[in-house]
A and B are shown apart, each in its own frame.
Chain A
Amino acid sequence: MRILASYLIGLVFGVGISISGMANPAKVLNFFDLFGTWDPSLAFVMGGAVVTAFIGYRYALKRPKPILEGRFQLPTRRDLDRPLILGSATFGVGWGIAGFCPGGAIPALGTGRTEVVLFMAALLAGILTAKTLQRRRASRLAAT
């Protein structure tokens, strides 16, 4: 049941990304190209998604617990630290270079395009590298 529900929710996300233009790097990069071939469409994607989630979360979180799980698992940290800001800044640089973000690229994989496979391979390599560095740092800190 959890698997079927997750698949269908992923499908809604994938259809949304596909029709919004977020899976299309040309459109994404044009949104950020204010002084060139500017295409403001992505502001409508973000606006539609954030407003829908803002309203929907009010109702979803009113329940004592989620439908198929024992409890809500929400991020609780509120502090701004260096990894958050530097990591996000780094993410933006990569997004500006390639034009894909993770949520845009995963559905784009379904078009079977080689470029998406290449991006995803590099993305996974980046995630694995960063996770390894984080683990090493954590064990070094634990040892001292």
Chain B
Amino acid sequence: METAFTPLQSLSGGVLIGLAAVLLMAVMGRVMGATGILAGVMSPSDRSDFAWRAAAVLGMVSGPAAVWAMTGALPAVQVPVSTPMLLVGGFVVGVGVTYGSGCTSGHGVCGMARLSPRSIAATLTFMVTTFATVFVVRHVVGG
């Protein structure tokens, strides 16, 4: 499935993601990682932590509605993979981000911006295995 190259939209989206990370640091003193926020909602260490994390998740989920209010269209979600692949992929992502202590937002954005050696190593590692996996799925198995 072809997708259009959208450098300006993607860059402005990226700047907003970075801005959200900066705001969370300035206001709450925390790194903005989807994994950490999600895991915190699932097993809250204390109730005040649960509340702000749940509110952040709700805010994230409201993103598409806000885009719809501004532009009149929901953001595109095209899923070019089968349901079994979604389920297997989702489970594998869940295990990986738990052991790896983070994902694209936590390691890839916040950790890279802090020049954390752990996050740089994690980001390089998952970028390589994602490239390799897509290559195998699309050109070796599916080719």
| Interface residues of A, Cβ cutoff 8 Å to B | 2-27, 29-30, 32-37, 39-42, 44-54, 56-57, 59-61, 63, 65-69, 71-75, 77-80, 83-104, 106-111, 113, 115-116, 118-131, 134
A122 to B82, CA, bound (A): 14
**Are B27 and A9 in contact, with the CB atoms below 8 A?**
yes
The 8 sampled A-B contact pairs (Cβ below 8 Å) are A15-B16, A68-B28, A72-B29, A88-B100, A94-B88, A96-B131, A122-B86, A131-B43
How many residue pairs between the two chains, A and B, have CB atoms under 8 Å in the bound complex?
502
Q: How many residues of B contact A (CB 8 A)?
A: 113
Apart from A68-B27, A98-B86: 6 A-B pairs, beta carbons within 8 A: A9-B20, A14-B61, A32-B133, A50-B18, A96-B137, A107-B60
Instruction: Kindly provide the distance from the CB of A68 to the nearest chain B CB, expressed in whole angstroms.
Output: 5
Q: Which residues of B contact A23 (CB under 8 A)?
A: 63-64, 75, 77
Known: A74-B114, A80-B117. A95 touches B126 (CB 8 A): yes
**Are A91 and B93 in contact, with the CB atoms below 8 A?**
yes
